[in-house]
Structure 1
Protein backbone atom coordinates (compact mmCIF):
# COMPACT_ATOMS: atom_id res chain seq x y z
CA UNK A 1 0.00 0.00 0.00
CA UNK A 2 1.21 3.49 -0.82
CA UNK A 3 0.59 6.86 0.80
CA UNK A 4 0.01 10.00 -1.26
CA UNK A 5 2.32 11.79 1.13
CA UNK A 6 5.21 9.66 -0.14
CA UNK A 7 4.92 10.64 -3.82
CA UNK A 8 8.07 12.51 -4.82
CA UNK A 9 8.30 14.55 -8.03
CA UNK A 10 11.55 15.74 -9.57
CA UNK A 11 12.52 17.23 -12.91
CA UNK A 12 15.61 17.84 -15.04
CA UNK A 13 16.26 19.66 -18.28
CA UNK A 14 16.48 17.28 -21.20
CA UNK A 15 18.49 17.85 -24.39
CA UNK A 16 18.65 14.29 -25.79
CA UNK A 17 16.22 11.37 -25.95
CA UNK A 18 17.90 9.60 -23.03
CA UNK A 19 16.90 10.12 -19.40
CA UNK A 20 19.19 12.75 -17.81
CA UNK A 21 21.61 11.47 -15.18
CA UNK A 22 22.38 14.89 -13.71
CA UNK A 23 20.62 18.15 -13.00
CA UNK A 24 17.62 16.73 -11.16
CA UNK A 25 15.66 18.92 -8.74
CA UNK A 26 12.79 18.04 -6.40
CA UNK A 27 9.64 19.81 -7.60
CA UNK A 28 7.25 20.88 -4.82
CA UNK A 29 3.65 20.30 -5.85
CA UNK A 30 0.14 19.70 -4.62
CA UNK A 31 -0.57 16.97 -7.13
CA UNK A 32 1.38 15.37 -9.98
CA UNK A 33 -1.23 14.26 -12.50
CA UNK A 34 1.18 12.98 -15.14
CA UNK A 35 0.20 9.60 -16.53
CA UNK A 36 0.54 7.38 -19.58
CA UNK A 37 -2.29 5.98 -21.68
CA UNK A 38 -1.85 3.46 -24.47
CA UNK A 39 -4.24 2.70 -27.32
CA UNK A 40 -5.07 -0.98 -27.75
CA UNK A 41 -6.51 -1.51 -31.22
CA UNK A 42 -8.74 -4.53 -31.69
CA UNK A 43 -7.99 -6.96 -34.49
CA UNK A 44 -10.81 -7.58 -36.95
CA UNK A 45 -9.40 -10.90 -38.17
CA UNK A 46 -11.52 -14.04 -38.09
CA UNK A 47 -9.78 -17.16 -36.74
CA UNK A 48 -12.40 -19.90 -37.11
CA UNK A 49 -14.30 -19.25 -33.88
CA UNK A 50 -16.39 -16.50 -32.33
CA UNK A 51 -13.51 -15.51 -30.01
CA UNK A 52 -11.85 -12.37 -31.29
CA UNK A 53 -8.14 -12.19 -32.00
CA UNK A 54 -5.78 -10.33 -29.64
CA UNK A 55 -5.41 -6.60 -30.15
CA UNK A 56 -2.18 -4.65 -30.47
CA UNK A 57 -0.86 -1.48 -28.85
CA UNK A 58 -0.79 1.06 -31.69
CA UNK A 59 -0.32 4.36 -29.92
CA UNK A 60 -0.02 6.17 -26.64
CA UNK A 61 -0.12 9.50 -24.86
CA UNK A 62 1.91 11.06 -22.08
CA UNK A 63 0.07 13.97 -20.49
CA UNK A 64 -1.21 15.46 -17.25
CA UNK A 65 -1.22 18.51 -15.01
CA UNK A 66 1.07 19.47 -12.18
CA UNK A 67 -0.82 21.53 -9.60
CA UNK A 68 1.14 23.85 -7.32
CA UNK A 69 0.93 26.89 -5.09
CA UNK A 70 2.70 29.77 -6.79
CA UNK A 71 5.94 30.50 -4.92
CA UNK A 72 8.48 33.17 -5.69
CA UNK A 73 11.35 31.87 -7.85
CA UNK A 74 10.52 28.16 -7.44
CA UNK A 75 8.77 27.61 -10.78
CA UNK A 76 10.69 30.08 -12.95
CA UNK A 77 11.96 27.34 -15.28
CA UNK A 78 8.45 25.99 -15.79
CA UNK A 79 7.12 29.50 -16.40
CA UNK A 80 9.81 29.93 -19.06
CA UNK A 81 8.73 26.67 -20.67
CA UNK A 82 5.06 27.71 -20.64
CA UNK A 83 5.96 30.98 -22.38
CA UNK A 84 8.31 29.15 -24.80
CA UNK A 85 10.98 31.71 -23.93
CA UNK A 86 13.60 32.73 -21.36
CA UNK A 87 13.69 35.42 -18.71
CA UNK A 88 15.29 38.54 -20.16
CA UNK A 89 17.35 40.90 -18.02
CA UNK A 90 16.38 44.57 -18.12
CA UNK A 91 19.27 46.69 -19.35
CA UNK A 92 18.38 49.58 -17.04
CA UNK A 93 17.43 47.65 -13.93
CA UNK A 94 19.50 44.69 -12.73
CA UNK A 95 16.77 43.70 -10.28
CA UNK A 96 14.17 43.21 -13.02
CA UNK A 97 13.61 40.35 -15.45
CA UNK A 98 10.83 39.97 -18.01
CA UNK A 99 9.19 36.98 -19.63
CA UNK A 100 7.11 37.13 -22.83
CA UNK A 101 5.77 34.68 -25.40
CA UNK A 102 8.49 33.26 -27.66
CA UNK A 103 9.44 30.29 -29.82
CA UNK A 104 12.05 28.50 -27.69
CA UNK A 105 10.88 25.01 -26.79
CA UNK A 106 12.20 23.63 -23.50
CA UNK A 107 12.01 19.94 -22.64
CA UNK A 108 12.19 18.17 -19.31
CA UNK A 109 12.26 14.70 -17.86
CA UNK A 110 9.80 14.50 -14.96
CA UNK A 111 9.86 11.69 -12.41
CA UNK A 112 6.99 10.49 -10.23
CA UNK A 113 8.16 8.14 -7.49
CA UNK A 114 5.97 6.25 -5.05
CA UNK A 115 8.87 6.09 -2.63
CA UNK A 116 7.25 3.94 0.06
CA UNK A 117 6.66 1.02 -2.35
CA UNK A 118 9.62 1.77 -4.67
CA UNK A 119 7.55 2.08 -7.83
CA UNK A 120 9.13 4.76 -10.00
CA UNK A 121 7.97 6.46 -13.19
CA UNK A 122 9.67 8.90 -15.55
CA UNK A 123 8.11 10.92 -18.36
CA UNK A 124 10.53 12.23 -20.95
CA UNK A 125 10.52 14.85 -23.68
CA UNK A 126 8.03 16.87 -21.63
CA UNK A 127 6.82 20.26 -22.81
CA UNK A 128 4.71 22.72 -20.80
CA UNK A 129 1.73 23.17 -23.09
CA UNK A 130 -0.47 25.18 -20.75
CA UNK A 131 -0.33 27.41 -17.69
CA UNK A 132 -3.13 28.61 -15.47
CA UNK A 133 -2.76 31.02 -12.55
CA UNK A 134 -5.78 31.39 -10.23
CA UNK A 135 -6.12 34.19 -7.68
CA UNK A 136 -9.10 34.32 -5.32
CA UNK A 137 -9.83 35.82 -1.93
CA UNK A 138 -9.03 33.76 1.19
CA UNK A 139 -6.77 31.31 -0.69
CA UNK A 140 -3.17 30.82 -1.69
CA UNK A 141 -2.47 31.56 -5.34
CA UNK A 142 -2.54 28.38 -7.43
CA UNK A 143 -0.63 27.54 -10.61
CA UNK A 144 -1.33 24.58 -12.90
CA UNK A 145 1.18 23.41 -15.51
CA UNK A 146 -0.23 21.26 -18.32
CA UNK A 147 2.39 18.80 -19.56
CA UNK A 148 2.74 16.80 -22.79
CA UNK A 149 5.49 14.20 -23.20
CA UNK A 150 7.13 11.91 -25.73
CA UNK A 151 8.37 9.01 -23.64
CA UNK A 152 7.75 6.88 -20.57
CA UNK A 153 9.64 4.31 -18.47
CA UNK A 154 9.03 2.63 -15.11
CA UNK A 155 11.14 0.78 -12.57
CA UNK A 156 10.64 -1.22 -9.39
CA UNK A 157 14.31 -0.98 -8.52
CA UNK A 158 15.46 2.63 -8.38
CA UNK A 159 14.39 6.18 -9.11
CA UNK A 160 15.26 7.74 -12.46
CA UNK A 161 15.93 11.03 -10.67
CA UNK A 162 19.58 10.66 -9.73
CA UNK A 163 20.73 12.65 -6.68
CA UNK A 164 18.08 15.36 -7.00
CA UNK A 165 18.68 18.70 -5.34
CA UNK A 166 16.43 19.29 -2.36
CA UNK A 167 13.23 21.23 -2.85
CA UNK A 168 13.53 25.00 -2.82
CA UNK A 169 11.29 26.53 -0.19
CA UNK A 170 9.68 29.56 -1.79
CA UNK A 171 7.59 32.41 -0.52
CA UNK A 172 3.86 31.84 -1.15
CA UNK A 173 1.25 34.47 -1.91
CA UNK A 174 -2.50 34.79 -1.47
CA UNK A 175 -5.32 37.07 -2.49
CA UNK A 176 -4.06 39.45 0.20
CA UNK A 177 -0.72 39.71 -1.66
CA UNK A 178 -2.23 41.57 -4.60
CA UNK A 179 -1.26 45.22 -4.97
CA UNK A 180 -3.02 47.94 -6.94
CA UNK A 181 -4.64 46.43 -10.02
CA UNK A 182 -4.38 48.80 -12.96
CA UNK A 183 -6.58 49.17 -16.04
CA UNK A 184 -5.07 51.30 -18.79
CA UNK A 185 -2.34 52.45 -16.40
CA UNK A 186 -4.64 53.70 -13.63
CA UNK A 187 -6.19 52.10 -10.55
CA UNK A 188 -9.05 49.89 -11.75
CA UNK A 189 -11.18 51.57 -9.06
CA UNK A 190 -13.48 48.64 -8.29
CA UNK A 191 -13.37 45.56 -6.06
CA UNK A 192 -11.82 42.58 -7.89
CA UNK A 193 -12.88 39.30 -6.29
CA UNK A 194 -10.92 36.91 -8.52
CA UNK A 195 -8.51 36.81 -11.45
CA UNK A 196 -7.28 34.03 -13.69
CA UNK A 197 -4.61 33.95 -16.41
CA UNK A 198 -4.26 31.09 -18.89
CA UNK A 199 -1.88 30.17 -21.68
CA UNK A 200 -2.70 27.37 -24.10
CA UNK A 201 0.14 26.84 -26.56
CA UNK A 202 -2.05 24.58 -28.70
CA UNK A 203 0.78 22.06 -28.91
CA UNK A 204 0.32 19.03 -31.13
CA UNK A 205 2.15 15.72 -30.92
CA UNK A 206 3.58 14.76 -34.31
CA UNK A 207 3.70 11.03 -34.95
CA UNK A 208 5.54 9.42 -37.83
CA UNK A 209 5.65 5.88 -39.13
CA UNK A 210 8.09 3.85 -37.10
CA UNK A 211 8.99 3.29 -33.47
CA UNK A 212 7.61 6.40 -31.75
CA UNK A 213 4.55 5.29 -29.83
CA UNK A 214 4.29 8.58 -27.89
CA UNK A 215 5.29 10.85 -30.77
CA UNK A 216 8.52 12.05 -32.29
CA UNK A 217 8.00 15.78 -31.88
CA UNK A 218 5.80 18.33 -30.12
CA UNK A 219 5.00 21.46 -32.09
CA UNK A 220 3.43 24.58 -30.56
CA UNK A 221 0.68 26.24 -32.58
CA UNK A 222 -1.03 29.62 -32.17
CA UNK A 223 -0.92 30.65 -28.52
CA UNK A 224 -4.36 31.22 -27.02
CA UNK A 225 -4.06 33.47 -23.96
CA UNK A 226 -7.16 34.26 -21.97
CA UNK A 227 -8.62 34.53 -18.49
CA UNK A 228 -11.33 36.02 -16.34
CA UNK A 229 -12.11 38.50 -13.58
CA UNK A 230 -14.98 38.71 -11.13
CA UNK A 231 -15.74 42.34 -10.32
CA UNK A 232 -18.14 44.13 -8.03
CA UNK A 233 -20.75 45.67 -10.29
CA UNK A 234 -20.45 49.43 -10.50
CA UNK A 235 -19.74 52.21 -12.95
CA UNK A 236 -16.09 51.19 -13.34
CA UNK A 237 -16.90 47.56 -14.14
CA UNK A 238 -19.68 48.71 -16.48
CA UNK A 239 -17.16 50.94 -18.25
CA UNK A 240 -14.92 47.89 -18.70
CA UNK A 241 -17.46 45.49 -20.17
CA UNK A 242 -19.01 48.00 -22.59
CA UNK A 243 -15.77 47.72 -24.55
CA UNK A 244 -17.23 44.49 -25.93
CA UNK A 245 -19.68 46.60 -27.98
CA UNK A 246 -16.84 47.95 -30.12
CA UNK A 247 -14.07 45.38 -29.60
CA UNK A 248 -11.85 48.07 -28.10
CA UNK A 249 -8.81 46.77 -26.22
CA UNK A 250 -7.73 47.61 -22.67
CA UNK A 251 -4.60 46.90 -20.67
CA UNK A 252 -4.35 45.28 -17.25
CA UNK A 253 -1.66 44.89 -14.57
CA UNK A 254 -1.82 42.47 -11.64
CA UNK A 255 1.02 42.79 -9.07
CA UNK A 256 1.73 39.81 -6.80
CA UNK A 257 3.93 40.73 -3.83
CA UNK A 258 5.79 38.11 -1.79
CA UNK A 259 7.46 40.68 0.46
CA UNK A 260 8.45 44.33 0.19
CA UNK A 261 10.84 43.75 -2.71
CA UNK A 262 10.13 40.38 -4.34
CA UNK A 263 7.13 40.31 -6.66
CA UNK A 264 5.74 39.26 -10.01
CA UNK A 265 3.65 41.62 -12.11
CA UNK A 266 1.41 40.13 -14.80
CA UNK A 267 1.05 42.75 -17.54
CA UNK A 268 -1.46 42.40 -20.36
CA UNK A 269 -0.92 45.21 -22.89
CA UNK A 270 -3.99 44.49 -25.01
CA UNK A 271 -7.04 42.40 -24.26
CA UNK A 272 -10.61 42.23 -25.52
CA UNK A 273 -13.35 41.59 -22.99
CA UNK A 274 -16.82 40.13 -22.80
CA UNK A 275 -19.40 39.84 -20.02
CA UNK A 276 -23.11 39.70 -19.42
CA UNK A 277 -25.20 42.28 -17.60
CA UNK A 278 -25.81 40.87 -14.08
CA UNK A 279 -29.25 39.50 -13.19
CA UNK A 280 -29.22 39.38 -9.38
CA UNK A 281 -31.97 38.59 -6.93
CA UNK A 282 -32.84 41.01 -4.18
CA UNK A 283 -30.53 39.27 -1.70
CA UNK A 284 -27.45 39.05 -3.99
CA UNK A 285 -24.24 41.02 -3.77
CA UNK A 286 -24.01 42.07 -7.42
CA UNK A 287 -20.93 41.00 -9.33
CA UNK A 288 -20.06 40.64 -13.00
CA UNK A 289 -17.94 37.92 -14.58
CA UNK A 290 -15.62 39.27 -17.25
CA UNK A 291 -13.78 37.05 -19.73
CA UNK A 292 -10.83 38.36 -21.68
CA UNK A 293 -8.65 37.32 -24.61
CA UNK A 294 -5.12 38.64 -25.12
CA UNK A 295 -4.55 40.05 -28.62
CA UNK A 296 -1.80 41.60 -30.75
CA UNK A 297 0.87 41.95 -28.04
CA UNK A 298 2.43 39.37 -25.74
CA UNK A 299 1.58 39.41 -22.06
CA UNK A 300 4.59 39.92 -19.83
CA UNK A 301 5.50 38.61 -16.40
CA UNK A 302 7.91 40.92 -14.65
CA UNK A 303 10.06 39.49 -11.87
CA UNK A 304 11.23 42.07 -9.35
CA UNK A 305 13.82 41.02 -6.78
CA UNK A 306 15.77 42.50 -3.90
Structure 2
Protein backbone atom coordinates (compact mmCIF):
# COMPACT_ATOMS: atom_id res chain seq x y z
CA UNK A 1 0.00 0.00 0.00
CA UNK A 2 1.22 3.47 -0.88
CA UNK A 3 0.74 6.86 0.76
CA UNK A 4 -0.17 9.93 -1.27
CA UNK A 5 2.46 11.86 0.68
CA UNK A 6 5.17 9.56 -0.74
CA UNK A 7 4.66 10.54 -4.38
CA UNK A 8 7.36 12.41 -6.27
CA UNK A 9 7.47 14.20 -9.60
CA UNK A 10 10.72 15.18 -11.29
CA UNK A 11 11.20 16.59 -14.78
CA UNK A 12 13.98 17.29 -17.26
CA UNK A 13 14.12 18.96 -20.67
CA UNK A 14 14.99 16.66 -23.55
CA UNK A 15 17.59 17.51 -26.18
CA UNK A 16 16.19 14.85 -28.52
CA UNK A 17 12.42 14.57 -28.76
CA UNK A 18 11.23 11.37 -27.07
CA UNK A 19 14.62 10.47 -25.58
CA UNK A 20 15.25 10.74 -21.84
CA UNK A 21 18.67 12.37 -21.28
CA UNK A 22 21.39 9.81 -20.66
CA UNK A 23 22.40 11.83 -17.62
CA UNK A 24 18.93 12.21 -16.17
CA UNK A 25 19.52 15.40 -14.16
CA UNK A 26 16.08 16.54 -13.12
CA UNK A 27 14.12 19.16 -11.24
CA UNK A 28 11.66 18.22 -8.52
CA UNK A 29 8.25 19.82 -9.03
CA UNK A 30 5.71 20.60 -6.35
CA UNK A 31 2.22 19.54 -7.40
CA UNK A 32 -1.28 19.12 -6.02
CA UNK A 33 -2.52 16.58 -8.57
CA UNK A 34 -0.88 14.41 -11.21
CA UNK A 35 -2.61 12.07 -13.66
CA UNK A 36 0.19 10.99 -16.01
CA UNK A 37 -0.74 7.56 -17.30
CA UNK A 38 -0.41 5.02 -20.09
CA UNK A 39 -3.64 3.61 -21.50
CA UNK A 40 -4.09 1.05 -24.27
CA UNK A 41 -6.49 0.68 -27.17
CA UNK A 42 -7.91 -2.77 -27.69
CA UNK A 43 -9.70 -4.29 -30.67
CA UNK A 44 -12.20 -7.03 -29.99
CA UNK A 45 -11.93 -10.27 -31.94
CA UNK A 46 -14.67 -11.09 -34.45
CA UNK A 47 -13.45 -14.68 -34.86
CA UNK A 48 -16.01 -17.49 -34.82
CA UNK A 49 -14.98 -20.73 -33.12
CA UNK A 50 -16.85 -23.84 -32.01
CA UNK A 51 -18.45 -22.17 -28.99
CA UNK A 52 -20.20 -18.88 -28.26
CA UNK A 53 -17.46 -17.37 -26.07
CA UNK A 54 -15.85 -14.04 -26.91
CA UNK A 55 -12.24 -14.45 -28.03
CA UNK A 56 -9.45 -12.40 -26.47
CA UNK A 57 -8.94 -8.86 -27.72
CA UNK A 58 -5.66 -7.56 -29.11
CA UNK A 59 -3.82 -4.40 -28.02
CA UNK A 60 -3.64 -2.12 -31.05
CA UNK A 61 -2.28 1.13 -29.64
CA UNK A 62 -1.35 3.15 -26.58
CA UNK A 63 -1.69 6.69 -25.30
CA UNK A 64 0.55 8.53 -22.85
CA UNK A 65 -1.13 11.57 -21.37
CA UNK A 66 -2.22 13.35 -18.21
CA UNK A 67 -2.24 16.58 -16.26
CA UNK A 68 -0.14 18.25 -13.62
CA UNK A 69 -1.82 20.79 -11.37
CA UNK A 70 0.17 23.02 -9.06
CA UNK A 71 -0.05 26.05 -6.83
CA UNK A 72 1.44 29.07 -8.57
CA UNK A 73 5.07 29.89 -7.73
CA UNK A 74 7.41 32.28 -9.47
CA UNK A 75 10.08 30.50 -11.52
CA UNK A 76 9.03 26.94 -10.69
CA UNK A 77 7.21 26.17 -13.95
CA UNK A 78 8.83 28.53 -16.46
CA UNK A 79 10.18 25.67 -18.61
CA UNK A 80 6.66 24.23 -18.88
CA UNK A 81 5.29 27.67 -19.82
CA UNK A 82 7.86 27.75 -22.63
CA UNK A 83 6.87 24.25 -23.73
CA UNK A 84 3.22 25.32 -23.94
CA UNK A 85 4.12 28.51 -25.82
CA UNK A 86 6.37 26.67 -28.33
CA UNK A 87 8.89 29.43 -27.72
CA UNK A 88 11.88 30.40 -25.59
CA UNK A 89 12.00 33.12 -22.98
CA UNK A 90 13.64 36.15 -24.61
CA UNK A 91 14.78 38.91 -22.24
CA UNK A 92 12.25 37.54 -19.74
CA UNK A 93 9.36 37.69 -22.22
CA UNK A 94 7.59 34.58 -23.48
CA UNK A 95 5.40 34.82 -26.59
CA UNK A 96 2.77 32.16 -27.26
CA UNK A 97 2.16 30.45 -30.57
CA UNK A 98 5.76 29.87 -31.64
CA UNK A 99 7.37 27.01 -33.53
CA UNK A 100 10.09 25.87 -31.11
CA UNK A 101 9.30 22.33 -29.97
CA UNK A 102 10.34 21.60 -26.39
CA UNK A 103 9.76 18.22 -24.81
CA UNK A 104 10.30 16.72 -21.39
CA UNK A 105 10.97 13.47 -19.58
CA UNK A 106 9.21 13.10 -16.25
CA UNK A 107 9.73 10.64 -13.42
CA UNK A 108 6.60 9.78 -11.46
CA UNK A 109 7.50 7.82 -8.36
CA UNK A 110 5.86 6.08 -5.40
CA UNK A 111 8.82 6.00 -3.07
CA UNK A 112 7.34 3.89 -0.26
CA UNK A 113 6.81 0.92 -2.58
CA UNK A 114 9.80 1.61 -4.88
CA UNK A 115 7.72 1.94 -8.02
CA UNK A 116 8.86 4.43 -10.68
CA UNK A 117 7.64 5.43 -14.15
CA UNK A 118 9.62 7.50 -16.65
CA UNK A 119 7.50 9.22 -19.28
CA UNK A 120 9.42 10.48 -22.32
CA UNK A 121 8.51 12.80 -25.18
CA UNK A 122 6.08 14.81 -23.07
CA UNK A 123 4.65 17.75 -25.04
CA UNK A 124 2.76 20.50 -23.18
CA UNK A 125 -0.53 20.46 -25.02
CA UNK A 126 -2.49 22.76 -22.71
CA UNK A 127 -1.79 25.43 -20.11
CA UNK A 128 -4.33 26.72 -17.58
CA UNK A 129 -3.94 29.70 -15.26
CA UNK A 130 -6.78 30.06 -12.76
CA UNK A 131 -7.21 33.00 -10.37
CA UNK A 132 -10.11 32.50 -7.93
CA UNK A 133 -11.95 35.22 -6.06
CA UNK A 134 -10.43 33.80 -2.86
CA UNK A 135 -7.62 31.25 -2.66
CA UNK A 136 -4.40 30.18 -4.31
CA UNK A 137 -3.70 30.78 -7.98
CA UNK A 138 -3.19 27.49 -9.80
CA UNK A 139 -1.26 26.40 -12.89
CA UNK A 140 -2.34 23.37 -14.90
CA UNK A 141 -0.38 21.58 -17.64
CA UNK A 142 -1.87 18.95 -19.94
CA UNK A 143 0.64 16.56 -21.54
CA UNK A 144 0.79 14.19 -24.47
CA UNK A 145 3.75 11.80 -24.43
CA UNK A 146 5.46 9.17 -26.53
CA UNK A 147 6.43 6.31 -24.21
CA UNK A 148 6.72 5.04 -20.62
CA UNK A 149 9.35 2.94 -18.87
CA UNK A 150 8.61 1.31 -15.46
CA UNK A 151 11.30 0.47 -12.90
CA UNK A 152 11.73 -0.61 -9.29
CA UNK A 153 14.72 1.70 -8.76
CA UNK A 154 14.81 5.44 -9.45
CA UNK A 155 17.09 6.35 -12.38
CA UNK A 156 20.51 7.76 -11.57
CA UNK A 157 21.05 11.50 -11.97
CA UNK A 158 21.44 14.75 -10.09
CA UNK A 159 18.20 15.87 -8.46
CA UNK A 160 17.44 19.53 -7.82
CA UNK A 161 14.99 20.14 -4.95
CA UNK A 162 11.68 21.87 -5.57
CA UNK A 163 11.76 25.66 -5.50
CA UNK A 164 10.65 27.36 -2.30
CA UNK A 165 9.47 30.69 -3.71
CA UNK A 166 6.19 31.86 -2.10
CA UNK A 167 2.85 30.66 -3.41
CA UNK A 168 0.64 33.22 -5.12
CA UNK A 169 -3.02 33.90 -4.30
CA UNK A 170 -5.83 36.21 -5.36
CA UNK A 171 -4.20 38.82 -3.09
CA UNK A 172 -1.10 38.69 -5.35
CA UNK A 173 -3.01 40.19 -8.29
CA UNK A 174 -2.21 43.84 -8.99
CA UNK A 175 -3.85 46.55 -11.04
CA UNK A 176 -5.72 44.87 -13.92
CA UNK A 177 -5.73 46.83 -17.18
CA UNK A 178 -8.41 46.72 -19.87
CA UNK A 179 -7.28 48.40 -23.09
CA UNK A 180 -4.30 49.71 -21.17
CA UNK A 181 -6.40 51.50 -18.57
CA UNK A 182 -6.89 50.46 -14.96
CA UNK A 183 -10.38 49.26 -14.05
CA UNK A 184 -9.82 50.07 -10.39
CA UNK A 185 -12.65 52.20 -9.07
CA UNK A 186 -14.69 51.69 -12.25
CA UNK A 187 -15.28 47.95 -12.29
CA UNK A 188 -14.40 44.91 -10.23
CA UNK A 189 -12.96 41.75 -11.77
CA UNK A 190 -13.40 39.05 -9.13
CA UNK A 191 -11.95 35.98 -10.86
CA UNK A 192 -9.99 35.23 -14.02
CA UNK A 193 -8.82 32.26 -16.08
CA UNK A 194 -6.66 31.72 -19.15
CA UNK A 195 -6.29 28.55 -21.22
CA UNK A 196 -3.88 27.86 -24.07
CA UNK A 197 -4.47 24.78 -26.22
CA UNK A 198 -2.00 23.61 -28.88
CA UNK A 199 -4.57 21.16 -30.29
CA UNK A 200 -2.00 18.37 -30.64
CA UNK A 201 -2.61 15.14 -32.48
CA UNK A 202 -0.79 11.82 -32.39
CA UNK A 203 0.91 10.49 -35.52
CA UNK A 204 0.88 6.69 -35.51
CA UNK A 205 3.37 4.74 -37.65
CA UNK A 206 3.78 1.05 -38.29
CA UNK A 207 6.98 -0.34 -36.82
CA UNK A 208 6.83 1.77 -33.63
CA UNK A 209 5.12 -0.83 -31.46
CA UNK A 210 3.29 0.88 -28.60
CA UNK A 211 5.50 3.97 -28.76
CA UNK A 212 4.19 7.13 -30.40
CA UNK A 213 6.10 8.11 -33.53
CA UNK A 214 5.33 11.83 -33.41
CA UNK A 215 3.01 14.39 -31.85
CA UNK A 216 2.02 17.30 -34.06
CA UNK A 217 0.59 20.65 -33.00
CA UNK A 218 -2.24 22.18 -35.05
CA UNK A 219 -4.11 25.46 -34.62
CA UNK A 220 -3.40 27.23 -31.33
CA UNK A 221 -6.38 28.40 -29.31
CA UNK A 222 -6.49 30.84 -26.41
CA UNK A 223 -9.64 31.15 -24.31
CA UNK A 224 -10.73 32.10 -20.84
CA UNK A 225 -13.24 33.94 -18.74
CA UNK A 226 -13.52 36.59 -16.06
CA UNK A 227 -16.29 37.71 -13.74
CA UNK A 228 -17.07 41.39 -13.28
CA UNK A 229 -19.34 43.13 -10.85
CA UNK A 230 -22.06 44.84 -12.84
CA UNK A 231 -21.25 48.54 -13.18
CA UNK A 232 -21.17 51.27 -15.80
CA UNK A 233 -17.75 50.13 -17.05
CA UNK A 234 -18.68 46.44 -17.26
CA UNK A 235 -21.87 47.40 -19.10
CA UNK A 236 -19.72 49.22 -21.69
CA UNK A 237 -17.53 46.14 -22.10
CA UNK A 238 -20.65 43.99 -22.45
CA UNK A 239 -21.80 46.09 -25.44
CA UNK A 240 -18.56 45.45 -27.34
CA UNK A 241 -19.62 41.92 -28.30
CA UNK A 242 -22.36 43.32 -30.53
CA UNK A 243 -19.90 45.19 -32.73
CA UNK A 244 -17.25 42.44 -32.46
CA UNK A 245 -14.91 45.01 -30.93
CA UNK A 246 -11.88 43.56 -29.15
CA UNK A 247 -10.21 44.51 -25.90
CA UNK A 248 -6.78 43.88 -24.40
CA UNK A 249 -6.18 42.45 -20.94
CA UNK A 250 -3.17 42.80 -18.66
CA UNK A 251 -3.02 40.73 -15.45
CA UNK A 252 -0.08 41.37 -13.08
CA UNK A 253 0.75 38.84 -10.35
CA UNK A 254 3.43 39.55 -7.71
CA UNK A 255 4.59 37.27 -4.91
CA UNK A 256 5.48 38.44 -1.41
CA UNK A 257 9.17 38.72 -2.32
CA UNK A 258 8.44 41.04 -5.26
CA UNK A 259 8.86 38.55 -8.12
CA UNK A 260 6.32 39.38 -10.81
CA UNK A 261 4.51 37.90 -13.81
CA UNK A 262 2.37 39.92 -16.21
CA UNK A 263 0.03 38.06 -18.55
CA UNK A 264 -0.79 40.33 -21.49
CA UNK A 265 -3.45 39.38 -24.02
CA UNK A 266 -3.52 42.03 -26.76
CA UNK A 267 -6.77 41.12 -28.55
CA UNK A 268 -9.76 39.14 -27.37
CA UNK A 269 -13.31 38.82 -28.62
CA UNK A 270 -16.00 38.70 -25.95
CA UNK A 271 -19.20 36.89 -25.16
CA UNK A 272 -21.27 37.74 -22.07
CA UNK A 273 -24.77 37.83 -20.64
CA UNK A 274 -26.57 40.55 -18.75
CA UNK A 275 -26.30 40.43 -14.98
CA UNK A 276 -29.06 38.70 -13.06
CA UNK A 277 -29.74 38.09 -9.40
CA UNK A 278 -32.01 38.49 -6.45
CA UNK A 279 -32.57 41.53 -4.24
CA UNK A 280 -29.84 40.46 -1.81
CA UNK A 281 -27.22 39.65 -4.48
CA UNK A 282 -24.26 41.64 -5.76
CA UNK A 283 -24.91 41.61 -9.48
CA UNK A 284 -22.16 40.36 -11.74
CA UNK A 285 -21.66 39.02 -15.24
CA UNK A 286 -19.41 36.31 -16.63
CA UNK A 287 -17.36 37.25 -19.70
CA UNK A 288 -15.96 34.55 -21.96
CA UNK A 289 -13.12 35.56 -24.26
CA UNK A 290 -11.27 34.15 -27.26
CA UNK A 291 -7.75 35.22 -28.23
CA UNK A 292 -7.54 36.45 -31.83
CA UNK A 293 -4.88 37.68 -34.26
CA UNK A 294 -2.14 38.69 -31.81
CA UNK A 295 -0.14 36.40 -29.52
CA UNK A 296 -0.39 36.64 -25.73
CA UNK A 297 2.79 37.13 -23.73
CA UNK A 298 4.02 36.50 -20.21
CA UNK A 299 6.67 38.88 -18.87
CA UNK A 300 8.61 37.86 -15.78
CA UNK A 301 10.43 40.30 -13.54
CA UNK A 302 12.59 38.79 -10.79
CA UNK A 303 13.00 40.83 -7.65
CA UNK A 304 16.30 42.70 -7.46
CA UNK A 305 17.94 42.20 -4.08
CA UNK A 306 20.15 45.07 -3.00
CA UNK A 307 23.64 44.08 -1.82
TM-score band, normalised by the shorter chain?
over 0.9
Q: TM-score, normalised by structure 2?
A: 0.94
In 2: Cα distance, 1:200 partner to 1:293 partner: 12
In 2: Cα distance, 1:296 partner to 1:18 partner: 35
Q: 2:24·2:155 contact (CA, 8 Å) conserved in 1?
A: no
- 1:27 matched to 2:67? The reply is no
How far has the Cα of 1:281 moved from its partner?
Answer: 1.7
Aligned equivalent of 1:262: 259
In 2: Cα distance, 1:154 partner to 1:215 partner: 17
Note the residue ranges of structure 2 that are not aligned, 5 or more in a row.
Answer: none
Task: Select 2:134's aligned residue among 131, 135, 138.
Answer: 138
1:36-51 map, 5 Å: 36-51=38-53
Aligned equivalent of 1:274: 271
Q: Please state whether the residue corresponding to 1:29 is helix, strand or coil.
A: coil
After superposing the two structures, state which structure 1 stretch, 18-27 or 100-109, moved more.
Answer: 18-27
- 1:292 matched to 2:289? The reply is yes
How far has the Cα of 1:260 moved from its partner?
Answer: 6.1
Q: Please state whether the residue corresponding to 2:74 is helix, strand or coil.
A: coil
Q: Please state whether the residue corresponding to 1:88 is helix, strand or coil.
A: coil
In 2: Cα distance, 1:212 partner to 1:270 partner: 44
Q: Please state whether the residue corresponding to 1:44 is helix, strand or coil.
A: coil
Aligned equivalent of 1:195: 192
Aligned equivalent of 2:14: 14
Aligned-residue RMSD, C-alpha: 1.3
In 1: Cα distance, 2:257 partner to 2:24 partner: 35
Aligned equivalent of 2:148: 152
Q: 2:270·2:290 contact (CA, 8 Å) conserved in 1?
A: yes
Task: Select 1:105's aligned residue among 85, 88, 101.
Answer: 101
Q: 2:276·2:284 contact (CA, 8 Å) conserved in 1?
A: no
How far has the Cα of 1:230 moved from its partner?
Answer: 0.5
Q: 2:166·2:257 contact (CA, 8 Å) conserved in 1?
A: no
Q: Deviation string for 1:208-250 (max 9, x for gaps)?
A: 1222424211111111001100010011111111110011111
After superposing the two structures, state which structure 1 stretch, 117-126 or 166-175, moved more.
Answer: 166-175
How far has the Cα of 1:35 moved from its partner?
Answer: 0.8
Q: Deviation string for 1:125-175 (max 9, x for gaps)?
A: 0000000000012211101000110101112x2013633211121221111
Q: Please state whether the residue corresponding to 1:230 is helix, strand or coil.
A: strand
How far has the Cα of 1:47 moved from its partner?
Answer: 2.4
Q: Please state whether the residue corresponding to 1:202 is helix, strand or coil.
A: coil
How far has the Cα of 1:60 moved from its partner?
Answer: 1.0
In 2: Cα distance, 1:122 partner to 1:260 partner: 34
